[in-house]
Structure 1
């Protein structure tokens, strides 16, 4: 959970997160390539916490109930739209609504229901695989509150991360076709091995959790009497997607439009989508960053990017803000581009592709 979520919840919804939800404050990022590691330096604009997602979801659900929402624990099986209402079919009693808000992430079943009933089409996505290790309190204390991010030249792997939570390590990878085998290869790689517990902590078979991460907006993400928010809308940045922030913001924007302007497509287009302007404007820049990152890892140039960042404070700040998600990619581009940085890039390109020289960090950063 990263900034400015606490501010969003307090200022927009009047909610204060209970202290028990905030399991651990994360205090830094370290970026790893195939052969180099670099502690990223930048300015924090708020605290980043490890949280238990199920407890966080339960907290928000209870707050919604306290505000007057009626919660029906039943499975939705279909939607039927008419000019003046939406009929929601379920395994229990049907219900009628003025509007349906799709906050279902990338759940295949609910996506199909929306796609069968509306022009909505699921956003493009990466697959994710998540696992956890329980290394014990001593190991977690030695590891410290640093998120370890990996951009490695693995076939099919776009990024990975090892995050020390309160009582376990959370490990996730993402890519077009990642699998449990990709996860095993990731765990066995030399850069990752440095942050895993001794083998005797890993004798039990690993449990894997498969997920999805949107990388483009959904098609027809709103229409007459329906609107999608969060992952379902696909309004996410690559890498540090800040999914909780996006879900809260788009949910607030959708509710504001529904209450003030109505539930028809024109209202969502003119108000909800306009409110999402900061998210939508950043999407082209995010696509460029993702494309360049894929090229960089494919041609094994990531080591050289870390070497540039170790020498250039401007590019160090760029990597920090990209990995942490503290600034939009549009702002990062404007702050980073410079002639001296261009010369550094040309020098490293010459070293890598003409001279075939390996990259190296200054002694203090190695």
Structure 2
């Protein structure tokens, strides 16, 4: 039995196409969420085929993908496509549904079919790419300014507080000499959370716009946004902080090398100087720090060091190296807005 092909045949029975001719061209990485994602071809046409499961992340920071949430996300995709934003285009089922629910080997999935967009990811950013992303997101935010839906408006502050709690829990389980290492970092995180907070927030609907969700052509023109499962309300300045972190990278996704010039290019594309208020500029450095220094990657590794070290000496050595790396990263991120 060829399980991916058999599963696809089963799912595609709900669509008006010849599933017998389906061919799997490539299997996309599962990443943290564990969804099954394939590039398939049926006849002359290529598609993105995604199976979304119920349990997708170890932590509970992201919005759970209930059927109601998925329905709102697909409605927003239709809105963006109708206004010229280059988002992926869903293929409806025979009955006109945006996706198909099925059970396979005892597990429930939601199956999504999209037209395939052929392009490339750019992870080593350029001035042109940063500027164009800034301009695209400014346009998206303007379109979404009056868009209303039933999804909750949750600040990234809630995620930061969750990660902070995880970090404090890890510190409490560590020996005294290791807690001493963690406490200054925790104090920094608390300070940045406080400085980033505002009681008045501007929310916009958007998706996860990190470089792996953006496709470009050979002329560095954006031709597709390919993330839908993270569509939701984002506080506008918090979202801008994530963009600055992602699109200031000069050496790829896993590098901590960032460029103030690239950050400025993105802000120029966004027309931030005409739009952001003094209070926005005041909180932006702390928001950028939180994106890079109090995220799942940092907290997860901290917890693993505390749980898996076989001695206090080993734990202290590994924590010291880990915290030094992220302290240096924080300093680089903090220097992004100096131009």
TM-score interval, smaller chain: under 0.3
In the superposition, the TM-score normalised over structure 2's length comes to: 0.25
Higher helix share: 2
Q: So what's the TM-score if we normalise by structure 1?
A: 0.24
Q: Which has the higher strand share?
A: 1
